[in-house]
Chains A and B, each alone.
Chain A
Amino acid sequence: MSSTNSIQIGQQETSFWGRLRLTLARRTEGRGVALLAVVLVVVAFTEPLVFTAYPVSLGRIALIGLVALGLTAVILMGELDLSVASTLALSGVVMAMIPDVALGVIAALAVGLVVGMINAFLVAIVGINSFIATLGMLFALRGLGFVLSNEAPVRMANTDAGIAFGLPLLGPLTPRVLIFIVAFIALQIFVSRVKAGREFFAVGGNRQAAYDAGIPVKRRIFTGFLISGFVASLAGAINTLERTAADPTAGSTVLLASFAAAIIGGNYLKGGRGSIVGTLIGATALGVLQVALTLTGVQVPVQQIFIGLILLLAVTTDPANLRAVLGSIRSVRQGRLKSQT
C-alpha cells in the first residue's frame, strides 16, 4: 500500500470496535443518555404509571423539549437566551387577547420573532453579553405581559378550539406532540444538513475563525435568536390552547427544566459542541422525571430541588469543565513539587 499521496493523521481505525469507539468519542450525548437510563430504570420500578399514561408524559416532554430546542440553536453559538420564559408567557397572553384563534396564533408567533430580533440586535450589533441582554429582556417582557393582562390570567374567547387542540390527532399523539416532532426533525435537518445551520457550530467553536472564513457571524446570531424566540412563542401558543387561558407568570418552571434538558443533553455552554438529539434525550429524561414525581405525589418544592440539582450537576460536570479542573489541580500540584525542590 503506497502512502505517498495521502497524509496519515493518527492511527486509522479499521476494526469494528475501533470505529465504534471513535464514533462514540465524537458524540456529546453521554451524560444525557446516562441520566435517561437512570430515570427510566428507577421509574420503571417505582412508578410504571408513567409509561401506561404515556400521553401525559409525551405532552410534558414536548413542552420542555420545544423550548429546549430553541435554546439549543442559541447555545450552539455560545450564546444564551434567558428571555424564553417571558416570551412564552407574553406570546400566550397576546394570543388569548385576540378573539380569532388563527389570528391569535400568528400574532403570538410574531411576538416571538420580534423578541428574537431585539435580542439579536442587542447581542450582535450593540455588543452586550447575551446573558445580561436576555436577562434584561426577561424582566422587561414579563412586565409587558403583566401590563397587557392586567396582572391576571386571560381566558381565551374561543374555548372550543382549545378543547379540540387537546384531543389526539394521529393515533395517540396530540397536536402538541406532533408539533414538537416536526420542530425536532426540522431543526435536526437544519443544523446537520443545511449550510446556515452547520455554520452555528463554527460560530460557537471559534468566532474569530468563523469570521475570517467568511461566515456571516452577525447574520447567524440573528438566525439563532429568531429560532429561539419563534420556538418559545410557539410553546406559548400551544400552552394557551391547551389550557384555554394564558397566565402572565407562566414559564418560570419551564425555563429551569428546558435549560437543564439542553445542558445535560451535551450542549456546551461556550458553544461549538452539542446536538439536537442530545436535547431530545435530555428533555425526555426531565419530562419523565417530572411526570413521575407528580404522579407519586411529591410536593412541588421537592420537584424544584430535583430539577435544580440536575441543572447544577449538568453545568458542573461538562467534560470540558472537568478537564479544566483536572488541569488546574495538576498544575497546582506541579507548582508545589517545584517549590519543594
Chain B
Amino acid sequence: MAKETLTEVITVADSDTSKTTVAPKERSIVGWIAENGIFVFTALLIVVALVFVDGFASWVNITDVFHRAAPIGIVAVGMTFVVISGNYLDLSVVAQVATSAVILIAVSNSYGIPLAMLAALLAAAVFGVVNGVAVGYFKANAVIVTLATTYIGLGLLRLFSGGSIFFGPQDGLIREFGLGKLGAVPYSAVVLVLMTLVLAFVLNRTNFGFLIRSFGVNESATRLGGTNTALVVIGAFLVTALAAMVAGWVLAAFSNTAVSAMSSGYDFRALAAIIVGGTSVFGGKGSVLRTLLGVIFVSVLTNILVLSGITFGYQQMALGVLIVAAVAIDALSRKAGKR
C-alpha cells in the first residue's frame, strides 16, 4: 500500500524534474572498495587458500567449512534485516541459538520432535517480540536492549538446563539430518542457501522488505508515510529470531548435543559477515546475498587461520579488526560521497 503511494510520488517528482540532469555519482577508491571490495577480496582469499594453505583444498575440509559456516550464516542472513533497518545489530542471537538448540534436543527426547520445534518457535517469538517492542515502541537503543536480553535469556537457559549438556538419541530424524547430505553438500548448507533465497525474496520483493529498507533510510519519512514503524522494527527482530532458531536446530543436529554455551561468539561472527558483505551499519543499504558472500569470506578466513595453526586469541583479534576496518571503509566512503 505504502509502496504504491511512494512510487507515485517518485513518478510525479520525476516528471517535474525530468529536464534537470542528475550529476554523475562521484567516483572514489574508498567508495569502490565499499561497493565491490567483497567480491575481489573473497575471490583473492579463496585463491590464496587454494594455492598456499595445505589441507584447504580437500573435500573433508570443504565439508567442514560448510558445516561450521551454516549456523553462523543462517544467523547472519536473518540479522541482516535488523542491520538494514538501522538498528545496529541483535546481540541476543547468542542466547537465541543456544535456547533453540537446547529446547530441540531436550524436549524432543521426552515429547517428540514436533512439540520440540513448537516450543523453540515459541521461545524465538518471545525473544523477537521483547527485543522488537523495546526497540520499536520504547525507542530504546538496540545494542543495550539486546545486551540485556542476552543475559536474561542465557540466565534463564542456564537456570532451567542446570548448565548440563543434552544428548540426542543415536538414531533418529535429528541425527540423520545432521549427518545427511544432498549429493555431496551437507543438509545444513542446503538450509543456509534456502534461508538466503527466502529472506532475499522477502527483503527485495515484498511490502515488508520494502518497509524495512525505507525505515533504514529514513525513519521519520516512513512513519509520516502512514506506516506503523514499531511493527516494522518488531518484524525485523522476529525475522532475526526465526533465523537464529533455525540456526540452533542446524547446530544441534550437527553435533547431536546441546549446551547453553554452544553459540558463544555467534553475535560477532554474524556481524562480521554482514558488515564485510557490504551491508551498512548506518542502515538502509545492503542485501541478504551480500551477507552470504560475507559469510563465505569470514568462514574461509577462519578456516585458513585454523589450518595455519593460529590460536583463538589471534582469530578474535583478526575478526575484531576486520569489523572495524569494514565499518571504517563504509564510513569513509559515505564522507567521500557527501563532498
Is the pairing of A and B real? yes
Residues on A facing B (Cβ under 8 Å): 80, 82, 122, 126-129, 131-133, 135-148, 151, 255-256, 259-260, 263, 269, 299-305, 307-309, 311-312, 315-318, 321-322, 324-325, 328, 332
Instruction: Evaluate contact between B332 and A143: CB separation under 8 angstroms.
Output: no
Instruction: Evaluate contact between A146 and B134: CB separation under 8 angstroms.
Output: no
Interface-lining segment among B16-24, B152-160, B207-215, B248-256: B152-160
Choose one: B155, B281, B316; the contact of A302 (CB below 8 Å). B155
User: Which residues of chain B from 319 to 339 have a CB within 8 Å of any chain A CB?
Assistant: 319-321, 323-324, 327-328, 331-332, 334-335
Interface-lining segment among B42-50, B137-145, B191-199: B137-145
Interface-lining segment among B53-61, B101-109, B290-298, B307-315: B307-315
Instruction: Evaluate contact between A305 and B320: CB separation under 8 angstroms.
Output: no
User: Which residue of chain A lies nearest to B143 when distances are taken between CB atoms in the complex?
Assistant: A131
Instruction: Evaluate contact between A312 and B145: CB separation under 8 angstroms.
Output: yes
CA distance A127 to B228 in the complex (A): 31
B317 at the interface (CB under 8 A from A): yes
Choose one: B134, B228, B323, B335; the contact of A312 (CB below 8 Å). B134
Residues on B facing A (Cβ under 8 Å): 88-89, 134, 137-141, 143-145, 147-152, 154-159, 163, 228, 230, 268, 271, 275, 281-282, 311-321, 323-324, 327-328, 331-332, 334-335
> Across the interface, which residues of B come within 8 angstroms of A305, CB to CB?
151-152, 155-156, 159
> Across the interface, which residues of A come within 8 angstroms of B332, CB to CB?
126-127
Choose one: B151, B318, B328; the contact of A128 (CB below 8 Å). B328
User: Which residue of chain B lies nearest to A312 when distances are taken between CB atoms in the complex?
Assistant: B148
Instruction: Evaluate contact between B151 and A147: CB separation under 8 angstroms.
Output: no
> Across the interface, which residues of B come within 8 angstroms of A132, CB to CB?
88-89, 275, 281, 323, 327
Main secondary structure of the interface of A (DSSP, over half): helix
CA distance A302 to B154 in the complex (A): 10
Instruction: Evaluate contact between B314 and A147: CB separation under 8 angstroms.
Output: yes
Instruction: Evaluate contact between B143 and A80: CB separation under 8 angstroms.
Output: yes
Q: A62: shortest Cβ distance to chain B, in Å?
A: 22
CA distance A300 to B156 in the complex (A): 11
CA distance A129 to B283 in the complex (A): 11
A-B contact pairs, 13 of them (CB 8 A): A122-B328, A126-B332, A135-B271, A137-B320, A143-B315, A143-B319, A259-B147, A301-B155, A305-B155, A311-B147, A312-B149, A315-B145, A324-B139
CA distance A315 to B148 in the complex (A): 9
> Across the interface, which residues of B come within 8 angstroms of A143, CB to CB?
312-320
